[in-house]
């Protein structure tokens, strides 16, 4: 796929469709599929990649020291805002406050008809997010839901074919809302990398870069075989909400920092029947949305991941309302309210 850089930003055509009603219901760095006769379910050695070798580094690929520092920052921020960094203790309060409903600004980057997504395509992706984060696929309910606030189309060959290269200018032009608004961008991310994301810890440093970019072919019903159920967005938004990969740090402490996702030496590929790559207790979480398996193999978040999401939200994305007093952006226990009105 060639890069078309010679496009004037002044010539961008932008249309935005604002939505006044809620709708129902990965940076996932993974090898994109190539044509193959089997169904991809079997030993992980059977996974195909379009570029043999290790997965490329991306925003979500962090070093050990980076992960340790980010976990320490989460603890410090929670202690400062709540007087405790104990996620279990804090979670009882967060769950009583109600369900988080995240407003989504969906930006479709395209080159003419290539990459164009309809309103139906976008809504199907939102439905997939709500099903995955609501536990409808087999995991726990994280108590997070997503509401489409708006979607728009931007015709730019440069941004479409090279979203990583033009990430800064693209996001500066299109991003809307504050720290609690999820901005999703679709483009031709590539064949070796399907998406990339920022983490909540990074918002205060570069707020305009906050958001998630995914390949348009990974949406539900897309053309990427094995990666066509919309779980790239589920995975990437997991990073945006504060989750690391399940294989983070391999078998080395602290792993991904979550107790109920067993240590995993390397990413799952394809759809392995079962795997245990570390000496620590527990088999590899190959069905977890924060691993790298085929979409057909993914189905769950854990209770610990749900707690981490809610803690990270309280620490980084919930607006302050005074010292150690936080508006969690939730509704009362009897119902769910939006964390932010459309902006």
CA 230 remoteness from chain centre:
11
- Rounded CA gap, 120 and 129, in Å? 14
Comparing CA positions, the residue from 183, 115, 137, 105 lying closest to residue 25 is 137
Residue with tokens 């190959």: 286
Catalytic residues: 236
Q: Are 33 and 240 in contact (CB under 8 A)?
A: no
Classified as helix, coil or strand, 194 is: coil
Q: Is the dihedral of CA 243, 247, 252, 258 positive or negative?
A: positive
Instruction: Give the CA count within 13 Å in the CB-facing half-sphere of 59.
Output: 25
CA gap 203, 326 in Å, rounded: 17
Joined tokens for residue 11: 């010539």
213, 197 Cβ separation under 8 angstroms: yes
Question: Looking up tokens 């483009």, which residue turns up?
Answer: 187
């Amino acid at each position: 796929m060639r890069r078309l850089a010679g496009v004037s930003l002044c010539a961008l055509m932008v249309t935005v469709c604002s939505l006044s009603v809620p709708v129902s219901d990965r940076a996932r760095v993974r090898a994109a599929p190539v044509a193959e006769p089997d169904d991809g379910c079997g030993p992980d050695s059977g996974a195909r990649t379009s570029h043999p070798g290790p997965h490329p580094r991306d925003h979500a690929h962090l070093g050990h020291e980076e992960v340790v520092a980010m976990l320490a920052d989460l603890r410090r921020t929670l202690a400062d805002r709540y007087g405790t960094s104990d996620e279990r203790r804090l979670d009882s309060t967060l769950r009583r406050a109600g369900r988080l409903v995240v407003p989504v600004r969906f930006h479709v980057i395209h080159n003419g008809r290539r990459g164009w997504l309809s309103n139906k395509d976008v809504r199907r992706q939102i439905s997939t997010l709500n099903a995955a984060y609501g536990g409808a696929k087999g995991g726990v309910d994280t108590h997070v839901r997503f509401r489409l606030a708006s979607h728009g189309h931007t015709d730019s060959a440069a941004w479409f074919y090279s979203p990583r290269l033009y990430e800064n200018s693209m996001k500066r032009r299109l991003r809307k809302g504050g720290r609690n608004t999820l901005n999703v961008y679709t483009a031709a991310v590539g064949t070796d990398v399907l998406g990339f994301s920022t983490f909540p810890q990074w918002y205060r440093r570069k707020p305009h870069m906050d958001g998630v970019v995914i390949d348009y072919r990974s949406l539900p019903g897309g053309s990427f075989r094995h990666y066509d159920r919309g779980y790239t967005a589920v995975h990437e938004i997991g990073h945006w909400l504060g989750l690391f990969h399940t294989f983070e740090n391999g078998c080395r402490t602290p792993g991904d920092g979550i107790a109920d996702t067993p240590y995993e030496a390397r990413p799952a590929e394809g759809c392995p029947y079962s795997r245990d790559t570390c000496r620590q207790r527990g088999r590899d979480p190959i069905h977890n949305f924060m691993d790298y398996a085929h979409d057909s193999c993914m189905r769950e978040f854990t209770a610990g991941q749900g707690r981490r999401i809610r803690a990270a939200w309280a620490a980084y994305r919930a607006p302050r309302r005074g010292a150690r007093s936080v508006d969690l952006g939730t509704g009362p226990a009897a119902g769910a309210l939006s964390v932010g009105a459309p902006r």
